[in-house]
Structure 1
Amino acid sequence: MNQSASCGACAFFDHARAEQAAHDGLCRFNPPVSQPAPDAHGLWPVVSEKDWCGHFETETPRGLTAAE
């Protein structure tokens, strides 16, 4: 796997919002999942900068930005 195609270089990787380790971030490709309770917010998947998947993009489509 090409290291430049890892999560840390992906347009859907949100490093600024992760509250985990320094090399972790949130994957913003799919919508949030796994609401812990009916009145709770959904959770974005936490991934490592070195992880990868089949959805890698260098730019977000149509200039979209990550949801707040």
Structure 2
Amino acid sequence: MSTTMCASCTFFKAHAANTAKTLKGADLCRFNPPVSQPEAGAHVLWPAVKSDDWCGHFEKDIEAA
């Protein structure tokens, strides 16, 4: 596994509750802000990613001492 994949990024957030058919197994990227939906009262959506995806915003996740 490469160290530049989403799963090792500080902006990666595992999202086990996501069961939507089109996003099944998808996690969340917290680098970009969530996107609002056109319907009034709809929830906002964070960008969906897979743990083995990667992008140019990668920042290595470091554990607190």
Fold match (TM-score > 0.5): yes
Structure 1 residues 44, 17: CA separation in 2 closer, same or farther (over 3 Å shift)?
farther
Shift in Å at residue 17 of structure 1?
A: 5.4
Identity across aligned pairs (percent)?
51
Distance, in Å, in 2 between the alignment partners of 1:18 and 1:27 is: 15
Maintained 8 Å contact 1:36/1:42:
no
Bigger-Rg structure (1/2) = 2
- Alignment TM-score, normalising by the size of structure 2: 0.71
Look up the match of 1:56. 58
- Alignment TM-score, normalising by the size of structure 1: 0.68
Maintained 8 Å contact 2:13/2:27:
yes
Q: Which runs of 5+ in 2 are unaligned?
A: 19-23
Distance, in Å, in 2 between the alignment partners of 1:3 and 1:59 is: 13
For the aligned residue pairs, the C-alpha RMSD in angstroms reads 2.4
Q: Which amino acid aligns with 2:48?
A: V
Maintained 8 Å contact 2:9/2:60:
yes
Equivalenced residue count is: 58
Shift in Å at residue 18 of structure 1?
A: 5.1
Shift in Å at residue 36 of structure 1?
A: 4.2
Superposed structure 1 runs of 4+ greater than 2 Å apart: none
Q: Which runs of 5+ in 1 are unaligned?
A: 61-68
Maintained 8 Å contact 2:14/2:28:
yes
